[in-house]
Chains A and B, each alone.
Chain A
């Protein structure tokens, strides 16, 4: 094609216009760095984060505090503190993001926290549940939960049911150990006795030996903590096969065991299991029903929103409200000050950010797995503990 003077001029003008447009956008857009897992066995986490973020943005016309939003995603591929740290540095230095978020695994959150402190970039934790993350940097606020926060109410609730003896089973990693110690502490304080405890390896194909051991020691009840995914169903299958229920041993867990995104795949072995957690897909509030409906409209019924998606949604809401308070100033100290003490309604129920610790304060629900009208397995909330703070920080 021969290029005439006119087309040349026109294209030059178009290019110039495009330049101006992007420059203007760069000034306006709020840049948020999202560090999460998008590949490997935990790729679900990233998908849930994305869904929660996208839902909030869609609901608000793609804008946060009147500004368009640009999300820069980084994939850690699982627990990878070194990679997370490097990604946080890249996001701040090269992509010039104003806020960091995501962070599914605790080691990643600790690594990013160090960068956030140095660069004074506000960081909102969307999942990582290790208690000390918020103490590790003044620029971190958490909207998810801590392991202790959901474990402690379970122990207290069990005591209320007249259970005096319990056996603990946890996966042998940081969060499992946190759950074990939080449970033991709360259970002993209420007058209960932990009669046995076992830690299983993370990569454990067969639980028969552990379950048999529990069966032979005949405790009144068992509390277990496993990360969501393949471990809880494998454990529950053996539990059912051994006839533990018939042997009169009651089973309790935290909500990871009946994570909404894995509950259907877990199947009927989960029926009747009582767990404690901060979010259930079946939470009856109007806000949650709208959230679930919007989620289904967007992503279909094959995946459910779980606590990852809800926290991602809430993280966007918190950023939105904090920026409204600071009149759009996203600098570290101002934004953190605005986040402190913030309280709003989440799809999971009322939540607030503790002004002293920047950690979440929320209702922890006691739920039971039941079949709903459509024959789906859901966590039905039937009891609750209001305004639970992180007990590990309360103790100090």
Chain B
């Protein structure tokens, strides 16, 4: 029982790490960014290539993954995304799904269609005893990383001037602009941050999911579930949702392996019926 919850939490943390960036972009900018997985993939490839070809360690590679995904995000925001902030959601979907397909083709061309090699550093291999449970070190590391990111984001958004501006822009863009907040620059920064987080999540996923060019499409559903169930535009919402999805998924597969695969969809439907605007609804919506 304990180990099942632990595994579920670890898996949920991974979903949170990748999905939280999407919650920020979708909630703050009302931009339906289906290409979020692409940024996770950029981070994953950056980490994997730097580790296998340049001999970089795992932890510096994580930082590099954040930077690489943030850079790609910044460039794409500047070139494409900023033109469509006020556009119809359908146009945004079209743009972002197009980016997904282009990225899949580009990564296949550059790195080949097969999986990227990856070996965990020795410190994160094997198991460690924790309160009577034999838990995987890597999973424990993922939980710690997820908790750190959550704390950092809550602090940054709740306590800093930047955070206050972001919250203001989330609540009402026009009024925020009227008070002298440079909304476009804010969007640019926040989008970049969201992409960077996705990249970090992508790199952390290397030890669990296989990384190949179809990554952004394969896991898209999971990111969307986390954000929809949690409530776009918040940090704690996706966090709670990701943990619940992780636990439901792992527990379902453990106790009811025949039904395990679709239990999370049942969970999603039930949650959306109960709380259509998400577990932690955005201010002004509920």
Contacts and interface: CB of A to CB of B under 8 A. Distances in A.
B125 interface: yes
B212 A243 contact: no
Interface stretch (B154-162, B163-171, B184-192, B251-259): B251-259
A230 B257 contact: no
A230 B208 contact: no
B112 A44 contact: yes
B219 interface: yes
Contact of B250 (A42, A206, A234): A206
A258 to B, nearest CB: 13
A41 B222 contact: no
Contact of A41 (B3, B116, B127, B213): B213
A334 interface: no
Interface stretch (A8-16, A79-87, A97-105, A209-217): A209-217
B257 A198 contact: yes
Contact of B118 (A206, A240, A267): A267
Contacts of B114: 44, 229, 261-262, 265
A198 B219 CA distance: 23
B210 interface: yes
Interface string A195-215: 000111101111011101100
A208 B115 contact: no
A57 B51 CA distance: 39
A139 to B, nearest CB: 31
B117 A203 contact: no
A100 B127 CA distance: 52
A268 B119 CA distance: 8
Given A206-B249, A212-B7, A267 B119 contact: yes
Given A43-B108, A212-B254, A206 B117 contact: no
B209 interface: yes
A262 B115 contact: yes
A230 B7 contact: no
A242 B136 contact: yes
Contacts of B117: 264-267
A243 B134 contact: yes
B69 to A, nearest CB: 19
B250 A208 contact: yes
A241 interface: yes
B112 A234 contact: no
Interface in A93-142: none
A208 to B, nearest CB: 4
Contacts of A40: 113, 214
Contacts of A209: 4, 7, 249-254, 257, 260
A242 B133 CA distance: 12
A33 interface: no
A148 to B, nearest CB: 24
A177 to B, nearest CB: 14
Given A41-B113, A205-B222, A241 B210 contact: no
Interface string A326-352: 000000000000000000000000000
A233 B209 CA distance: 9
A237 interface: yes
Interface in B114-130: 114-119, 125-127
Contacts of A303: 112
B125 to A, nearest CB: 7
B260 to A, nearest CB: 7
Given A198-B257, A205-B222, A209-B7, A229 B126 contact: no
A233 B127 contact: no
Nearest to B118: A267
Contact of A213 (B219, B257, B258): B257
A261 B112 CA distance: 12
Interface of B: 3-4, 7, 10-11, 108, 112-119, 125-127, 134, 136, 138-139, 207-210, 212-214, 218-219, 222, 249-254, 257-258, 260-261
Given A205-B219, A265-B116, 9 more contacts: A172-B261, A198-B257, A200-B257, A208-B136, A229-B212, A237-B208, A240-B125, A262-B115, A267-B118
24 contacts: A41-B213, A44-B113, A199-B258, A200-B253, A200-B261, A205-B222, A206-B7, A206-B208, A208-B11, A208-B250, A209-B7, A209-B249, A209-B260, A210-B253, A210-B254, A212-B254, A230-B209, A234-B209, A242-B127, A261-B114, A265-B115, A265-B116, A265-B117, A267-B118
- Which 9 pairs show the lowest CB-CB distances between chains A and B? A230-B210, A209-B253, A201-B261, A43-B113, A209-B254, A41-B214, A265-B117, A208-B7, A209-B250
